[in-house]
Amino acid sequence: MFVSEVEFMLHIPKTKIIRLKGQKLAKLNERIHQRDQHKCIYCGNRVDPGEKFHHEHNGIKSDQIEYGVLLCMDCHTERHHGKKCNDVKEYCRKYLINLYGESIYSK
């Protein structure tokens, strides 16, 4: 039996996007700072309290600890716009996979 593309797509489970605001987002940010010991995971420089974490997601930007890492401003800029953006991305992903397992990027 042939399944149409539409029928196939209807059976794909959706990934829930979590968007936090206010105190809940601040608490998540604090938890990521604590987990990463207030240091950039890429270069080791100190990251000031309150500096927003970087989302290293799998196509969907969701406010979850499994997708957040601390990057200093220089490494954050490098991740998005630099020549080493793929290196920083891969480093962030490996860091999170080491903490939470491979399944976080297969959702």
The model's pLDDT over 16-65, given as tens digits with 9 standing for 90+, comes to: 788 999 999 999 999 999 999 999 999 999 999 989 999 998 777 889 99
Q: Provide CB contacts within 8 A for 57, sequence distance 6+.
A: 67
pTM of the model: 0.82
Look up residue 53 and give its amino acid: F
Element (H, E) at 55: strand 54-55
Q: How far apart are CA 36 and CA 70, in angstroms?
A: 7
In angstroms, the CA 65 to CA 58 distance is: 13
b/e map of 14-25 (b: 16 or more CB within 10 Å)? eeeeeeeeeeee
Assess whether pLDDT exceeds 60 at residue 82.
yes
Tell me what the pLDDT averaged over the chain comes to.
87
Which pLDDT score, from 0 to 100, does residue 1 have?
46
